[in-house]
Structure formats: C-alpha cells, structure tokens
Structure 1
Amino acid sequence: MEKYKEKFLFFNAQVDKHLSNYPIICDLEKKTNVPKTYMAGGVVAFVFMLIFFNVWGELLSDIIGWLYPAYASFKAIESPEKTDEMAEFFSDFILYWVPFYFPSKTVFFLWLFLPPFKGAQIIYQKFLGPTLKAYESVIDKNLKNLKDKIEDATKEATKNIIDSTKSEHLE
C-alpha cells in the first residue's frame, strides 16, 4: 500500500508543478483554498462523466483523442525547439476498449516507421503539414480567443462564487 501512496504523491507533485505554470489556476487555488490537483481531478472526472453519459461524448473524445494530439504534434514538429515533449494522459485507457486496437495500432505504426513504407513522411507531407500550415494562424488565433474566453468566464465565475460566499457569511 505504501508503494501506491508514494506513486500517487509523486504523480500529484508532478501535476501540481505543471499546473503552477497557469496563473489563472494558481489564482483560483488561492481564492478557493482548493488545491490545484483537486480542481484538475474534478475537471477530468467531469469530462469523463460527460463522455460516459454521452453528453458531448463524440466531440470530447475527438478533441482528446485526435484533434488536440494532432495539432500539438504539428506544433512540436514545426517548433524551433526540438525539446518539446508530448504527454499521453488517458488515451491508452480510452483506446483499450476499442476491438483489435493493439493489432491495428501495431500495423499502423509499422507502416509509419518502416523505411520502405515511409508512412509518417507521407501523412505529414501530403496531408497534415500543408493543411495545418494553411490554417495555422487561424487556428492559433481561435485557440487564443477560446483560451481568453475560458479564462474570462472562469474569473467571472470565481468572482461570483467568492462574492456569493462572502455575502452568505455576512448575513
């Protein structure tokens, strides 16, 4: 049991360190006294429940399992810093339930990286690179706008929660 506790504490510290890079999450933690990792866990659990009960399930699973990783891979490839790392969070858990996932994945990966086939090069040069290059500025602009709107909404919601909590305690 102690081994699992150590692993959990290590993972928790890593997530906390990563979340510390986002000022809005740090502000939210200070204002609510709820640890960042608990908030992140709550969001993950909420998204999982939405997917599980099929409330925006298709959209969320496409974003998590395909759209975001594809765009993040593009950004990492095109980045001048080749130290960018990609993290897989829950894709293995989700994809475990797909029939013949591992055999299909193996064949696909063999096609991608075996020199005679040059699958990765084909996909990037013919489809992914040109398509994303054409829309990169639009995608970046929309992602920034979305991020700004989410931050504004989160700040407003946090302010409303804090204000309502203060007014309840004053009464």
Structure 2
Amino acid sequence: MFSFFSKLKERLDNFLNEKNFVTNFLTTIEENTGIKKRLLVIGTAAVTGLYLLFGYGASLICNLIGFVYPAYYSIKAIESPNKDDDTQWLTYWVVYGVFGMGEFFSDILLSWCPFYYLCKCLFLLWCMAPVPWNGSQVLYRRLVRPLFLKHQATLDNMVHDLSGKAITTAETLTREVLQTLVRNRTIYPADPAAKELPGPSNEPQID
C-alpha cells in the first residue's frame, strides 16, 4: 500500500512539473495565493470526492475522471516510441468498455445507491493506477482474456459474418440508388429547351 501511494505521489509530481494548460493554471493560482500546487490538487480531489457523494451531475464528473486522464496519457503513449505504455492503456480501454457494457444494464438499479458514483470513481482510479496490480491488468488477466481465448473462434466467425453482411448490404444499397437515378433520368429526360432563357419575340407587333 505504501508503494502505491509513493508511486501516485511520484506520478503527481511528474505531472505538476510538466508544461501544459492545467499546470500553467495551477502555477498562476499558486503565485496569486501562495498555496502549493500539490495542495491545490489534493484539495480539488477532496472536494470532488464530496461532490460525488452529495452533488448534482456526479455521473458526468465520474465519467470525465475515467476518460480525460486516460485519454491524455493514451495520446502521449501513441506519440512515444515505447510500446509498453501502449499495451497498458489499450488494456485499460478494453476493461473500460467491458465495464461500460455491464453498467448499461445495472446503472438503473445501482445509481440509486448514495455511494455509487464515488465507488465507480474509485474503481476507475484503481484501473488506471500506476502500479502493476492495477484494476485493468488484474481484470484483463483474470476475466477478459480467459473469456476471449475460450470463445475466440466463435467471435471471429461472428465478426467475419457481420462484416460480410455489412459489405453486401452496402453494395446492394449503392446498386439500388444508382439504378433509381438512372431510371429517373430515363423516364424524365432533361429538356434542353427548358434551360434556355426567353428572348425577345420576332413576331411583328400590331399597332
């Protein structure tokens, strides 16, 4: 547990030493108030936790926490030459997607729990924690990966069938649209004379 908090502290310090919009904003507040950036972050986290318990719109805050931070580090992982962090964040997004599917069916019942969004936020923080035993690694190895390997052949056939049907449907729709356009053009040919502007009459005028 001590190593977990020390790694969190190290990750927080590394983040605060970076140059980006958030750290620049925190630096401005620190210069104006004299409060250290680390204390500002800890205080914000405490207020966020209380808001998740009693505030309105806790679902949005929780989803932003589970998306913004991982998305930021996923982009950094893509841009870095090291591929280990790519695997780490791909694993997180797989678990996040599986959790989202399960939550879709249980959200109506669980959202009535007063601690639901706080527990959900802590779960997502566990899944993205910078430790080897974080939630995404544990759940992927013990739940997602065994199920996938067990049913991989069936899933491959389903994906192949669905992609083939999607391509066939798209080709059929495209062919029908083109045939309809050609048929309409044949039935209602364009009248070149209709596009000509009326000119002055050449007939003699009768006084």
Higher relative contact order (Cα pairs below 8 Å, separated by 6+ residues):
2
Higher gyration radius (CA) = 2
TM-score normalised by structure 1 residue count: 0.43
